[in-house]
Chains A and B, each alone.
Chain A
Amino acid sequence: DTEVTQTPKHLVMGMTNKKSLKCEQHMGHRAMYWYKQKAKKPPELMFVYSYEKLSINESVPSRFSPECPNSSLLNLHLHALQPEDSALYLCASSLRVPDTQYFGPGTRLTVL
């Protein structure tokens, strides 16, 4: 099973809202990633968790706050986002860092 699941599929939020994205994998992977993808562009790395510890933060604004409660779960907390943050947010996992990454279906985020 190489499935990474993400919820919700779609999210519309105002600039003052607080929301969270959720990612789950049950492949025993110990590395999990958040990416942001704009239309017609490759995914851009935001955060990497390795063994439930944040190992890479690609200078992402503090309005994005990641959390890894356990080895199977990854959250991305959103607060006070801007319209330019509208994008497809992808979660990925791999056995370790680095290794083959498996992506989830993404959450389509629209910030009004």
Chain B
Amino acid sequence: QQQVKQSPQSLIVQKGGISIINCAYENTAFDYFPWYQQFPGKGPALLIAIRPDVSEKKEGRFTISFNKSAKQFSLHIMDSQPGDSATYFCAAYHSGSRLTFGEGTQLTVNP
């Protein structure tokens, strides 16, 4: 019940395209869903986060869509750039839990 399932494992997108990464969870107690971006050899950086009382949150080219009934959330990267090439982790937690990460998606944006 603590799992967060993330897909796809890897994603290749052309510059200017839309990158979409999906996550699903089972534990309905989760109430905070952050996304982290990690470049090789660096620590994960908080990208954007959402709580289940909203269905969408947008920050620049990054948008989280949240479907509470389906227990799914996704990250959309609009106008993807080569500099967006990184590993993306979705995560979830609630007041009594540890931060639970998805397995990660390695995004490559080709110029």
Contacts and interface: CB of A to CB of B under 8 A. Distances in A.
Interface residues of B, number: 23
A41 B102 CA distance: 9
A42 B41 contact: no
B3 to A, nearest CB: 12
B8 to A, nearest CB: 14
A106 B98 contact: no
A100 B32 CA distance: 9
Interface in A36-53: 40-43, 45, 48
A27 to B, nearest CB: 13
Q: Could you say which of B36, B43, B104 has the most chain A C-beta atoms within 10 Å of its C-beta?
A: B43
Nearest to A10: B41
A42 B89 contact: yes
Nearest to B90: A42
B104 A45 contact: no
Contacts of B16: none
Interface string B67-111: 000000000000000000001010001110111011110100000
B46 interface: yes
Nearest to B93: A98
Interface of B: 32, 34, 36, 41-46, 49, 87, 89, 93-95, 97-99, 101-104, 106
Interface of A: 2, 4, 6, 40-43, 45, 48, 56, 88, 90, 92, 98, 100-106, 108
